Amino acid sequence: MEKDTRGGEGPNRQGREPDGKNGFFNFLVIGIVITFALNIVVGGFSANQRVEIGYGQFLSLVEADAVKHVRIENDQIALTLKEDASAGRVREILGADNSAGGMQVPENGKAGSRVFYTGRLDDPALVERLNSKNVAFYRPIIRSNPIMEFISSWIFPLLIFYVVYFFIMRKFSAQMGGGMGGILNAGKSKAKYYDMEKNTHVSFDDVAGQDEAKESLKEMVDYLHRPEKYQEIGAKQPKGALLVGPPGTGKTLLAKAVAGEAKVAFLSLSGSEFVEMFVGVGASRVRDLFAQAAKHAPCIIFIDEIDAIGKSRDNQMGGNDEREQTLNQLLAEMDGFDSSKGILILAATNRPEILDKALLRPGRFDRRIIVEKPDLPGREAILLVHAKKVRLEKTVNLREIALATSGAAGADLANMINEAALRAVRLGRNEVTQEDLMEAVETVIAGKEKKDRILSKKEKRMVAFHEVGHALASALQKHSQPVHKITIVPRTMGALGYTMNLPEEEHYLLTKSDLLAQITCLLAGRAAEEIEFGEMSTGAANDIERATRLARNMVTQYGMSERFGLMSLESLQNQYLDGRNVFTASEASGGDVDREVAGILENCHTEALHLLRENRDKLSDIAACLIERETISGAEFMEFLEEQKSA
Pairing of strands 240-244, 367-370: parallel
- Paired with 137 in beta bridges are 70
Q: Which residues of 214-232 are buried (b: 16+ CB within 10 A; e: fewer)?
A: bebbeebbebbeebeeeee
Rounded distance, CA 491 to CA 425, Å?
21
Is 607 tagged catalytic? Answer: no
Cβ neighbourhood burial of 479 (10 Å; 0-12, 13-18, 19+): middle
Q: List phi, psi (to 5°) of 255.
A: -65, -45
Pairing of strands 115-119, 76-81: antiparallel
Rounded distance, CA 266 to CA 318, Å?
35
How many Cβ atoms from other residues are within 10 Å of residue 100's Cβ? Answer: 8
Cβ–Cβ < 8 Å for 3, 11: yes
Which run of H or of E encompasses 634?
Answer: helix 634-646
Q: What is the DSSP string of 215-275?
A: HHHHHHHHHHH-HHHHHTTT----SEEEEE--TTSSHHHHHHHHHHHHT-EEEEEEGGGS-
Rounded distance, CA 249 to CA 386, Å?
14
**Residues whose CB is less than 8 angstroms from the CB of residue 65 and which lie 6 or more positions away in sequence, other chains included:** 82, 85, 133
End-to-end CA distance of the chain: 70
Residue 152 CA to its chain's centroid (Å) = 46
Query: Considering only CA atoms, which of 594, 570, 591 is closest in space to residue 580?
Result: 570
How far is it between the farthest Cα atoms of the chain? 133
Cβ–Cβ < 8 Å for 465, 619: yes
Cβ–Cβ < 8 Å for 202, 260: yes
Catalytic residue among 467, 529, 532, 596: 467
Query: Considering only CA atoms, which of 256, 35, 56, 303 is closest in space to residue 153?
Result: 35
Rounded distance, CA 261 to CA 19, Å?
34
Catalytic positions, written as ranges:
467
